[in-house]
Structure 1
C-alpha cells in the first residue's frame, strides 16, 4: 500500500515538474511575442492616420468586402506610393450629421492627422432642415479643430436628386461649399461625381455605388486628398 502511495507521489511530482517546464516555455513564448508587438508598434509609431468619418458611402454598404469601399482603395494608392499613412474607415451606415455629432468626441480620443468629413446625404434624403445639417457639420468641424487646430480637414460635398424640390436641393448643395469656405477646408464639390445617377455604377437601390463605382469615387477623393498628404 505504502509502495503504491510512494509511486503515486513520484508520478505527481513528475507531472508538476513537467507542467512547470511547459509553463515556463509558454511564458517565454508570450513574452517574446509581446516584445515583437512592441517593436512593431515602435516601427509604426511614425505612421500618420487619415480618418474617414462618414455614412454608408464611406462604410461600403452592400459590398462583399469593406476594403472595396473608396477609403480602402485610397489606402491601396498610398501603399503603392510607399507613403507612411494608415487609413481608418469610420463609416456608419445610416449615419446622419446628428449621429456624427453624437460620436465625434469618442472618435477624437485617437490621434488623427487628416480628417475626411463625409456626412449629410442621409439628412438630405430625410428632408432634415438645412439649418440643422449646417449646424451639425459645423459642430463636427469645431470639435476636430478643438482637438487639433492645425489638422487638415477635407469636406466631401453632396447633392440630391431633383425630386427633393429645387429650393431644398439647391440650398443643400450650397451649404457644403459655404461651410468649406467659412472654415477654410479642403473641399470636394461632389463626392459622387461621375457616379451619382449612373445606373450601372450603382447598386439596385440606385444610391450606393458598386465596387466599380467606388473606384471612381476613390479617384475623385484622391484628386483632392493627394495634395494634402503628399510628402
Structure 2
C-alpha cells in the first residue's frame, strides 16, 4: 500500500506512545472499533518495536506504522518489526534516500519550504508538517499550497479535536496526526471504551468535512 492510500484511510492518525507491550493490542483494537485503522506507534519507548510486532500479528484490521523514525537504522528496525509504513519528524538526505529504498513507505517530516523542496527532489509528494502548530498551522499549509499544489500533507503537532476540522478542510491535507485519541491516563487505566469513543468522534470528522 502506498503512502497516499494510507493517508486516505483515516482522517486522523493517532500518535501513540506505549510504555507496555501488553497495552498495544487492546489499544489498537479499541481504535479500530471506533473507525481509526492507521496507527502510528512512536519509537520513543523500549516497548515500541515489540508493540508494533504485536499489533501487526494480532490486529489484522489495523495498519500499524512506526513514528519518530530518525535514522535509516530506525527505518530498517520498523520494517523488520512488521510496520506497514514509517513516519519521521524531520528528514536528513540519508533518511530520504533510505526511505526510497525501503520495503515500507516513509512519510518524511518537513517544517520549511526548503525541507519541502529537499523531500520533493528526493521523490516524495506526501509529507508530514511537523510541528504543525509551531510551523504556522493552517496559514502555513495554505501558503505551501501555492508553490507546491501537487503535495499532500499530514500536519501533526499541536492539533486537537477542536482544531482538526480546520486542517482537514484544506485541499492539501490528507489527514492529521494527533495524540488526543490515546490520552496517557486512559491508556494506563485500560479504559478502552473511552478510547473507542474518541476514535469514533475522530473518524466522523471525515464525514463532517465532506458535508461542507
The structure whose residues are more often helix, as a share, is 1
The structure with the largest alpha-carbon Rg is 1
Which of structures 1 and 2 has the larger relative contact order (alpha carbons within 8 angstroms, sep 6+)?
A: 2
TM band (smaller chain): 0.3 to 0.5
Alignment TM-score, normalising by the size of structure 2:
0.38
